[in-house]
Structure 1
Amino acid sequence: MKEIEMKFGFPLFTKDKNTVYLGNHKKLIISDIWSFWDYVIKKHNKNCDFLSALLEQSKHFYLTAENSPVKSKPLLYYYSFLNLSKIIVAIENGYDSTKTYMHGVSENHNGKFTQSTIKVKQKHPNNSINVAIELTEILDVNVPTTPVTLNVKELLCHCVGVHRAYSEIYKKREVFFRIYNEKLYKNGREMIFKAQVQCEKTDLNELRNRGYVINEVDGGFVYEHTITTNSSNKVRADYFRMSQEIRAQGLWYFIGSNGYTLYLSNDATYRFSPEVIIYDVMFYLGSITRYHPYMFDKIFSDNEQWLMSEFLTTQPKQYLYLATSKLLGQHVMKAYASF
């Protein structure tokens, strides 16, 4: 068994082909995400005027949100996300300005955050684009095949960046288990991914029930996923298939100053990717800000307002970098980052 390089953005961001070719699949470390997106649009070299206009709006809303009061942030961040997501969907699917871009998602606050829901619609049958579901197809592996109604509080459980605060507020045990020391190997036609799991023996049954293969090795625990490839030479298609299978099982992550931290989850519900969760929750919060601003204090308890503040402070930058990485199929990180 021989260790091989984890490339093509493996295991988080691997794509079957380049949408925009940058840097030979290597990690990209940038200092200005907005200038970088301007470069991506120019490198894509299609519908540049349309995409550049969307980028200008996304940047303006984002920078304005950063310096706005907490209750004003959600709508500004959502409009930033929406415009950036239009760019992602347009580049990935070859759309242009002749399309009509719809939210494709609606909310019902039901008078209380714990009862609040969002409904994600399916693809629009004509020239209109329902952004939420088409974005989910790009950012996630587990894509709803019918219109789906989601409880926002339950959805937020799998938002890695605020999970500890979430668990504290709702008196729930944490569902995430960190994996580290990730390695990729080949053994003839086999391709094997291994990582150590930070868990207790009592956690194994629940994790295994979620489909993970975890073995006890030298007193520790090792997560393993294996595929059989067509030959001993591993190509991009092999990295892509393995990445899809690992992500379908459930892999969560956030980007920090030292790179990406990865987790498995033992919770069975709402196992969506971090970017999709952040986008959908921001839509919900933006809708409250837009349509029911007078209800903000009523819908959220004092503890939940703290949770929302944590979300709005930490997660927008996560969405910005993770969604960018997903479109490009490679790791995109900020130089000298403070997340």
Structure 2
Amino acid sequence: MAKSPDLGKPARLNYAKVEFRHIQTKADERKMLTADPWSYLHSYLRDKAEASRGTNRQCFTRANYYANLAEDFYKAASGASLPTKGTLSYYGMLNLVKAFVSVRGVELETTQEHHGLSLPHGEQHKVSIQHRPKSGKSIFYEFARELGSPTTRTSTIGVIDACLNIPELHSICHELGFAGSQKQRFIPVEIDVRTSDDHKWLFTLLSYRKEDEKRTPIHRILKGNRKDYFLDPVSENGRVYHRSKKRKKLSSENWNRVYCNILKEYHSFSISSLLTPSGYKYYLNLRDADFHHLAYSLIAMFYAGTVARYRPSEVEVIMKGTQRAILTEAIALLPSQFLYQLTSLITERICVIPYSKI
């Protein structure tokens, strides 16, 4: 490997360390620690509605209505068992999505709405993804578009393929043999925001553990948009580092603008986020999925919720087979992750679990 380029030092603004974020925030924006994201979400949406006028006020008011529906479905799901739990959880997540796209200015309620997803006739364990409809609004299309990964065509995806693109589920899919001989596509990464020693230039470091190379298709790390963005790897102390090629000129006036531009650039690198008790962890999808990982979460939960309503025979097959483990894992993990992630996207502030929560 090449000799190490200048790796700089951790970036700091107003004496606080600047961290990488997967949503657009100010460089020195503090995280919101909340054990009850519902209360924070409702308070935010009410305040925004009261401070807005016209169409914007309608959108925020609708968003709060959908958020209330979502909370009710979540509460109902917490006391339900399989397969009903999957249906209630999906509708909770669907209404969170409707709240999110409403905040982004998508006017729902004004025309016919479709899930944008369906179970293909005559095929099991698959979901059809509708492209933009000629009339009405597709909730999935609007959601995927707002996440930066719009649908480009009508397609069909296996539910296991969707789960393999969700960081919470990809490990169990591999352990149960659903990925065949493929190596794991997700590699855990750290993304550090750095400055030059004189604090005049801003850049980033993407790194991973050297030991993770064996279980992933690491040759793909410099594929696609990442190829022209990062320098060749440098190995130090058991980690491999890729520094961004370009450094951004810093001044006291442009700090937040430069930082936000870097966050936008990372949106095209197939970085997935996973909330843990110690904050968000990041994973790089080396297979460069078609959709954002939250869109795949909605696909997986649509399947869990819809197959329970319309295909009892298919549910029976799942409950007696190895796919049951993936279904139960999805229903146990995805709704709570989705709640924190969507709350962060809606409020444009990173929401995390407090250390004090037991």
Category of TM-score, reference length = shorter chain: 0.7 to 0.9
Aligned to 1:105, which of 89, 102, 117? 117
Q: Deviations over 1:287-337 (max 9, x none)?
A: 101211332022566211111101101111011111221233321113347
Determine if the alignment matches structure 1 residue 278 to structure 2 residue 297. yes
- What secondary structure, in the 3-state scheme, does the structure 2 residue paired with 1:144 have? coil
**Alpha-carbon spacing, 1:59–1:297, altered in 2? closer, same or farther (3 Å):** same
CA contact (8 A) 1:9 1:330 kept: no
Structure-2 separation of matches of 1:8 and 1:81: 31
What amino acid is aligned across from residue 33 of structure 2 in structure 1? I
**Identity over the aligned pairs, expressed in percent?**
18
Opposite residue 334 of structure 2, the aligned amino acid is Q
Kindly indicate whether the alpha-carbon contact (under 8 Å) linking 1:61 and 1:76 is maintained by their aligned counterparts in 2: yes
Match of 1:37 in 2: 41
The residue aligned with 1:20 is none
Asked if the contact 1:9/1:331 (under 8 Å) is kept, the reply is no
Whether the aligned pair in 1 keeps the contact of 2:274 and 2:281 (CA below 8 Å) is: yes
Give, as a single letter, the amino acid of the residue that structure 2 aligns with 1:208: L
Structure with greater Cα Rg: 2
Listed as ranges, the matches of 1:185-264 within 5 Å are 185-187=194-196, 190-200=201-211, 204-209=218-223, 211=226, 213=230, 215-219=233-237, 220-229=239-248, 232-233=251-252, 234-264=254-284
Instruction: Report the AA paired with residue 98 of structure 2.
Output: K
State the TM-score, normalized to the length of structure 1.
0.84
1:329 equivalent in structure 2: 348
CA contact (8 A) 1:225 1:246 kept: no
**How far 1:231 sits from its partner (Å)?**
5.3
Shift in CA distance, 120/49, structure 1 to aligned 2, threshold 3 Å: same
Secondary structure of the equivalent of 2:80? coil
Q: Does 1:85 align with 2:85?
A: no
Contact residue 90 and residue 96 of structure 1 kept, 8 A: yes
1:118 corresponding residue in structure 2: 128
For residues 61-80 of structure 1, the aligned pairs below 5 Å read 61-80=73-92
Aligned residues: 325
Shift of 1:258: 0.8
- Between the aligned partners of 1:309 and 1:337, the Cα distance in structure 2 is 27
Decide whether aligned partners of structure 1 residues 310 and 109 sit closer, same or farther in structure 2, where only a CA change above 3 A counts.
farther
Q: Out of 201-210 and 255-264, give the one that drifted further.
A: 201-210
In structure 1, stretches of 5+ residues that fail to align are 18-23
Q: Residue 25 of structure 1 contacts residue 329 of structure 1 at CA under 8 Å; is this kept in 2? A: no
Corresponding residue to 2:311 among 271, 285, 292: 292
Matched letter for residue 244 of structure 2: H
Provide the rounded CA distance (Å) in 1 between the counterparts of 2:178 and 2:134. Answer: 43
Separation in 2, partners of 1:280, 1:136 = 11
The structure-2 alpha-carbon separation of the partners of 1:209 and 1:56, relative to structure 1 and needing over 3 Å to count, comes to closer
The answer to whether the Cα contact below 8 Å between 2:70 and 2:92 also exists between their aligned partners in 1 is yes
Write out per-residue CA displacement over residues 201-238 of structure 1, whole angstroms, 9 at most, x where no aligned residue.
Answer: 55542323453645123253013334454654544343
For residues 52-100 of structure 1, the C-alpha deviation after alignment (integer angstroms, 9 at most, x for no partner) is 3322221111111121112111211111112121111111115264344
The question of whether the paired residues in 2 share the 8 Å contact of 1:250 and 1:271 is answered with no
Determine the C-alpha separation between the residues in 1 that align with 2:100 and 2:236. 45
Does the 8 A contact of 2:202 with 2:248 survive in 1?
Answer: yes
| Cα shift at 1:37 | 1.7
Change (3 A) 1:117 1:250: same
Q: Which amino acid in structure 1 is aligned with residue 265 of structure 2?
A: E
The CA distance in 1 between the partners of 2:300 and 2:122, in whole Å, is: 15
Name the counterpart of 2:330. 311
Question: Mean alpha-carbon deviation: is it higher for 292-301 or for 59-68?
Answer: 292-301
1:255 is displaced (CA, Å) by 0.2
Name the CA distance, whole Å, in 2 between partners of 1:149 and 1:337. 43
Which residue is equivalent to 1:153?
Answer: 160
Distance in 2 separating the partners of 1:148 and 1:229: 40
* Aligned residue number for residue 134 of structure 1: 142
Tell which deviates more after alignment, 169-178 or 275-284: 169-178
- Please provide the CA RMSD for this pair: 3.0
Kindly provide the amino acid, as one letter, of the partner of residue 258 in structure 1: S
The reply to whether residue 51 of structure 1 matches residue 58 of structure 2 is no
CA distance in 2, matches of 1:88, 1:77: 17
* Aligned residues of 1:325 and 1:332 also touching (Cα < 8 A): yes
**For residues 287 and 65 of structure 1, what CA distance do their matches in structure 2 show?**
15
TM-score (norm 2): 0.80
Asked if structure 2 preserves the Cα contact closer than 8 Å seen for 1:55 and 1:83, the reply is: yes
Change (3 A) 1:93 1:50: closer
3-state DSSP class of the match of 2:83?
Answer: helix
2:250–2:258: 8 Å Cα contact kept in structure 1?
no
Q: Which structure shows the bigger proportion of residues in helix conformation?
A: 1
Q: What one-letter code is carried by the residue in structure 1 that aligns with 2:204?
A: F
Q: Is the 8 A contact 1:8 1:330 kept in 2?
A: no
